[in-house]
């Protein structure tokens, strides 16, 4: 039992038959054995085992809008203040082919090929969105270097689920990377391509849905191994 007076702020044991020093009110003595034990707290468990969720990793040069894309997808708003991202993972429910699916999304900032946070994101992800900024040619050129880094880090032959994204399509007047250049890169990698805008939301959902489908196709193994991978450009 607590002190009978709400004004009691003293650290007193109110089970004892003594007056509370703050209120002067005597407390009722309750034998300890008569007080029912509180039920043990149940351990808090995640809704789904996190290890079983596929992770989508956003990879690209700094300031191409990776965090803004995640913010738009998860919260539906615009990221007003940019803070350098170290390594963050969130869960989100996508709707793919009419079904609700839960995924993890990994976002890391810094130099994509020389960052402990980015390397962790690369190693923990099942599929990737390679992001460049259509207003900065160097971020597009960097993608080939980034892809090579992913191949070397994961010790693969380059056969991993990936989607190419040219972000900031709302800044078309400042464009320096043409759509056909992004399409050509995607064709060479046999993967989907989108131009997106974290400002307007254009193709944000579609890009994440596409990489999820790529992950599922990869996981299905030989059943779809012979199928031709499509290259789409949704503008």
For residue 49, is pLDDT > 60?
A: no
pTM of the model: 0.73
**Cα–Cα distance for residue pair 109/118, rounded to 1 Å:** 7
Pairing of strands 99-108, 127-133: unpaired
Strands (E), the chain: 55-60, 87-96, 99-108, 127-133, 162-167, 193-195, 233-234
**Cα–Cα distance for residue pair 94/100, rounded to 1 Å:** 6
CATH architecture of 50-234: 3-Layer(aba) Sandwich (3.40)
**Cα–Cα distance for residue pair 99/108, rounded to 1 Å:** 28
Q: What is the pLDDT of residue 96?
A: 96
Lowest mean pLDDT among 10-14, 122-126, 200-204, 228-232: 10-14
% pLDDT > 90, the chain:
59
- Domain limits, the chain: 50-234
Question: Closest Cα partner for 142 from 230, 64, 202, 235?
Answer: 64
């Amino acid at each position: 039992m607590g002190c009978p007076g709400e004004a009691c702020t003293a650290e007193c044991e109110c089970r004892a038959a003594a007056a509370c020093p703050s209120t002067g009110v005597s407390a009722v003595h309750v034998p300890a054995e008569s007080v029912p034990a509180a039920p043990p707290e149940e351990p808090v468990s995640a809704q789904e085992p996190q290890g079983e969720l596929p992770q989508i990793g956003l990879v690209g040069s700094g300031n191409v809008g990776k965090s803004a894309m995640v913010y738009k997808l998860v919260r539906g708003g615009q990221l007003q203040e940019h803070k350098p991202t170290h390594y963050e993972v969130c869960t989100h429910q996508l709707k793919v082919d009419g079904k609700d699916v839960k995924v993890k999304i990994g976002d890391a900032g810094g130099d994509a090929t020389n960052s402990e946070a980015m390397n962790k994101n690369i190693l923990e992800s099942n599929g990737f969105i390679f992001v460049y900024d259509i207003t900065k040619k160097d971020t597009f050129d960097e993608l080939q270097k980034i892809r090579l880094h992913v191949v070397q880090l994961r010790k693969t032959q380059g056969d991993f689920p990936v989607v190419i994204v040219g972000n900031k399509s709302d800044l078309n007047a400042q464009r320096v990377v043409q759509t056909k250049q992004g399409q050509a890169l995607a064709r060479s990698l046999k993967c989907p391509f989108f131009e997106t805008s974290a400002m307007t939301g254009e193709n944000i959902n579609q890009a994440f849905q596409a990489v999820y489908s790529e992950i599922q196709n990869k996981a299905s193994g030989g059943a779809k191994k012979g199928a031709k991978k499509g290259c789409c450009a949704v503008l």
